[in-house]
């Protein structure tokens, strides 16, 4: 009797296993690969200006070594379009083209920028290559800078032993030319002239 029960149990288990296999056949799911250049969206990249740039197109070599041809679409490059300069660009990708929405020449930002303070004394902001920053005769200290989303971010150093985190001030770049820099922070507009 025990042998019959054991055999019946074994048959029931085999039957259940065979039914389960029929319900869940192993199939390879279909995968559709969409090339990146066909995916519309907004992107931001850092790189350099290539020598194939023209009045209407930026030849942009990103940090990965890929070359993009970005239509300026009437958009000016803040700081100018100079071959070999570092550039931070925000661009829209459509199925038809790539259009720049904001482009900032980072090399043009890398100078000492000066202005007269409220007390009549000269104040300066130095933006170095590699993201280093310094201030002279200003009420706030900055030790680094970067451009994100077309905005200039100036970082204040964290004080040793302080619980307060480092401060990041965000500025909209209103104008950047070879000899002037105009920044907006909230409602405050600050104008600088190039010192070096």
Q: Quick one: 15 exposed, middle or buried, by C-beta within 10 A (0-12, 13-18, 19+)?
A: exposed
| Predicted structure pTM score | 0.74
Strands 133-136 and 122-127: antiparallel
* Highest mean pLDDT, choosing among 15-24, 30-39, 41-50: 41-50
115, β-bridge pairs: 123
150-183 residue pLDDT tens: 999 999 987 777 776 778 999 999 999 999 999 9
Determine what percent of the chain falls in helix, strand and coil, rounding each to the nearest 5: 15, 45, 40
Q: Is residue 17 part of a domain?
A: no
Q: Which two tokens stand for residue 6?
A: 């054991």
Neighbours of 1 (CB within 10 A): 5
Q: CATH no. for residue 177?
A: 2.40.128.280
User: Do 114 and 170 fall into the same domain?
Assistant: yes
User: Do 190 and 115 fall into the same domain?
Assistant: yes
User: Do 131 and 67 fall into the same domain?
Assistant: no
User: Do 124 and 75 fall into the same domain?
Assistant: no
pLDDT at 174: 96
> pLDDT higher for 167 or 106?
106
Strands 86-93 and 98-105: antiparallel
Domain with 48, as residue range(s), is 36-107
110-140 residue pLDDT tens: 999 999 988 889 999 999 999 999 999 998 9
Secondary structure (3-state) at 19: helix
């Amino acid at each position: 009797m025990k042998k019959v029960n054991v055999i019946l149990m074994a048959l029931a288990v085999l039957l259940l296993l065979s039914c389960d296999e029929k319900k869940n056949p192993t199939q390879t799911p279909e995968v559709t690969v969409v090339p990146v250049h066909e995916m519309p969206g907004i992107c931001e990249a850092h790189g350099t200006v290539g020598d194939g740039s023209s009045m209407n197109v930026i030849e942009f070599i990103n940090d990965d070594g890929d070359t993009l041809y970005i239509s300026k679409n009437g958009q000016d490059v803040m700081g100018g379009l100079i071959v070999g300069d570092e550039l931070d660009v925000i661009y829209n990708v459509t199925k038809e083209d790539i259009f720049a929405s904001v482009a900032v020449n980072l090399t043009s930002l890398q100078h000492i920028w000066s202005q007269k303070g409220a007390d009549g004394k000269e104040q300066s902001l130095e933006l170095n290559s590699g993201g280093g920053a310094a201030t002279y005769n200003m009420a706030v200290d900055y030790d680094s800078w970067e451009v994100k989303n077309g905005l200039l971010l100036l970082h204040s150093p964290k004080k040793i032993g302080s619980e307060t985190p480092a401060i990041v001030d965000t500025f909209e770049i209103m104008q950047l030319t070879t000899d002037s820099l105009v920044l907006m922070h909230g409602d405050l507009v600050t104008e600088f002239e190039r010192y070096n």
